[in-house]
């Protein structure tokens, strides 16, 4: 009985961790610009503009020229799905051409 309860609890914990975790990414390089709401980091040949806010944890002296590693996640701000009507019209045209 105890073994079953322990196994069930372990499975619930592992599944909640697997589905609840958001993948994190990182960008490392010199700081090109710092503002209250964003930071620009040179990553290779690209400039990465990453948003930040009052809840962003900053350790060390963050200033232009400093080398930093930024940990971030990707989160959709909005999503607009399009294209269903066009796909249906193309399918209808193909059917009409075959007749």
What digits encode the pLDDT tens for the residues 60-80? 999 999 999 999 999 999 999
Cβ-contact 24, 55 below 8 angstroms = no
Task: Say which residue, 16 or 56, is predicted with more confidence.
Answer: 56
pTM: 0.59
Which option is the CATH number for 22-74: 1.10.287, 3.30.420, 1.20.58, 2.40.50? 2.40.50
pLDDT band at 99 (very low <50, low <70, confident <90, very high): low
Q: Is 34 helix (H, G, I), strand (E, B) or coil?
A: strand
CA nearest neighbour of 50 among 66, 26, 67: 26
Q: Name, in order, each residue with C-beta under 8 angstroms of 71's C-beta and a sequence gap of 6 or more.
A: 24, 25, 26
Domain boundaries, the chain: 22-74
Question: Would the pLDDT of 51 be above 90?
Answer: yes
- Distance in angstroms (rounded) separating the CA atoms of residues 44 and 29: 8
Cβ-contact 50, 39 below 8 angstroms = yes
């Amino acid at each position: 009985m105890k073994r079953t309860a322990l196994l069930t609890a372990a499975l619930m914990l592992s599944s909640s961790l697997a589905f609840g975790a958001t993948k994190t990414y990182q960008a490392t390089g010199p700081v090109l610009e710092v503002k209250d709401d964003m930071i620009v980091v040179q990553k290779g040949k690209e400039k990465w503009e990453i948003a930040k806010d009052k809840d962003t944890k900053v350790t060390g002296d963050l200033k232009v020229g400093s080398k930093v590693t930024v940990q971030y996640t990707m989160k959709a701000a909005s999503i607009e799905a399009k294209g269903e009507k066009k796909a249906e019209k193309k399918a209808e045209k193909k059917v009409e051409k075959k007749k």
